[in-house]
Amino acid sequence: MVGVPMNFPSKRILFYSLLAGLFTLLFLLLASCLSSFNYGIGDFSPIPAIIEVQSATPMGSPSEGQSEVLVSTKDKPTPSLEITPDHPLIENTDLTMKSSVTLVTYVSAPVAAATPAAKGADQPTIKPTPSAPKVSIPVLNYHSVTIDPGNIVVISPAKLEEQMTYLHDHGYTPVSLATFISLIEGNGSAAAPEKPVLLTFDDGYIDNYEQALPILAKYAFPATLFISPGMVDQVGYLNWEQIKKLHEAGWDIQPHGMTHPHLPKLSANQQAYEILEARKQIEEQLGVKADVFCYPYGEFNKITLKILMDHGFRYAFTTQQGYATDQQPPYQLKRIFINGEEDLHSFIKKLPKHD
Ligand SMILES: [Zn+2]
């Protein structure tokens, strides 16, 4: 039997085995092709579509690990919100969140020089062709004045006093908002104060009355206070009586939105309410013009600019870093953030060099 060719049934079995093997191989090849094709689609399909599906899943759902990754991608804040917000309000008593947000904000802000959300928007410009600014004024941006170590948006009374003393001893002149405007508009040359600076305080914290006012009063320094009337009387914030006393002491009181909202997230009507109602309440309470706006979180869009223009606002301050100049669009004036954790040397470096 050895060496004799296989008999017929054996050949048949071998033939069918080979055929089955071939089909198996073909099937595996086909399956592999299909599967890699699916991966290809997965990789290039628009991510938002996947995110939308995932967003229907309740947060913390234990179903898929992958969904968490996708959701966290969605939750990542957009760069425009990271670069220019001013800070969370004090009512956000979660200190961890407060510090983490502000760190992102201000560590990058001076370098980033924040491109405005609404760059190129139709709005009045002071001069059509950019040239070297004739007027350049540091507008210092303060918030809360109290003791809160580690929080860069809060400055201690001792440090504020040290800075005010420095300004006084080195011939700087904190000016009123009216003087600032006349300087920017080139009307103040005859009586231009020496080394003008504008001191601004955002949000209307009660410590501005209790701590900042007496320190500034020592040198008869005026300041500009941007308040959200919807926050007035709330814990940690000024009441109208205190605001009136600040006003009588030479502080200019101007609007910062009714409720300190993220304006670009609102409809045109909601934005108009936030901006106009804040102005109305300040004007009614104090009997003054309140037509210089300050963007909450430094955020604005084309709608914001149109509302300001349509309703006759004169200027608006951002959180973009730099000196305010006569070359900047009037609704995009820059300021200098004062980091409450920095020492006097860093503060001095933020001021313009004088001969
Ligand atoms: Zn604010």
What's the 129 CA to ligand 1 centre distance in angstroms?
A: 32
What's the 300 CA to ligand 1 centre distance in angstroms?
A: 13
What's the 340 CA to ligand 1 centre distance in angstroms?
A: 16
Distances (CA, A) of 77 to 81, 85, 153, 230, 301: 7, 12, 20, 26, 17
What confidence tens digit (pLDDT) does each residue in 101-160 have? 222 223 223 333 333 444 334 444 444 556 778 899 999 999 999 999 999 999 999 999
- pLDDT of 133 reads 80
pLDDT bin (cut points 50, 70, 90) of residue 230 is: very high
Distances (CA, A) of 252 to 16, 179, 199, 321: 96, 11, 10, 22
What's the 41 CA to ligand 1 centre distance in angstroms?
A: 45
What's the 195 CA to ligand 1 centre distance in angstroms?
A: 27
What confidence tens digit (pLDDT) does each residue in 303-333 have? 999 999 999 999 999 999 999 999 999 999 9
What's the 260 CA to ligand 1 centre distance in angstroms?
A: 6
What's the 143 CA to ligand 1 centre distance in angstroms?
A: 8
CB 283 within 8 A of CB 229: no
What confidence tens digit (pLDDT) does each residue in 162-182 have? 999 999 999 999 999 999 999
Domains of the chain: 136-350 (3.20.20.370)
What confidence tens digit (pLDDT) does each residue in 198-226 have? 999 999 999 999 999 999 999 999 999 99
What backbone torsions phi and psi does residue 15 show, to the nearest 5 degrees?
-60, -50
Tokens of 124: 């009045």
What's the 228 CA to ligand 1 centre distance in angstroms?
A: 8
What's the 296 CA to ligand 1 centre distance in angstroms?
A: 5
What's the 221 CA to ligand 1 centre distance in angstroms?
A: 22
- pLDDT of 197 reads 98
**Percent of all residues in the chain with a pLDDT value above 90, rounded to a whole number:** 59
Its pTM stands at 0.66
